[in-house]
Amino acid sequence: MNSQMVLTMGQEALLMLLMVSAPVLGTALLVGLLVSLFQAVTQIHEATLAFVPKLIAVIAVFAIAGPWMLTMLVEYIRRTMEAIPGSVT
Question: Which tens digit of pLDDT belongs to each residue from 3-24?
Answer: 888 899 999 999 999 999 999 9
Q: Which residues contact 72 (CB under 8 A, 6 or more apart)?
A: 16, 19, 20
pTM of the model: 0.79
Does 88 score more than 90 pLDDT? no
The alpha carbon of 87 is separated from its chain's Cα centroid by a whole number of angstroms, namely 28
SS (H, E, C) the chain: CCHHHHHHHHHHHHHHHHHHHHHHHHHHHHHHHHHHHHHHHHCCCCHHHHHHHHHHHHHHHHHHHHHHHHHHHHHHHHHHHHHHHHHCC
- Give the chain's length: 89
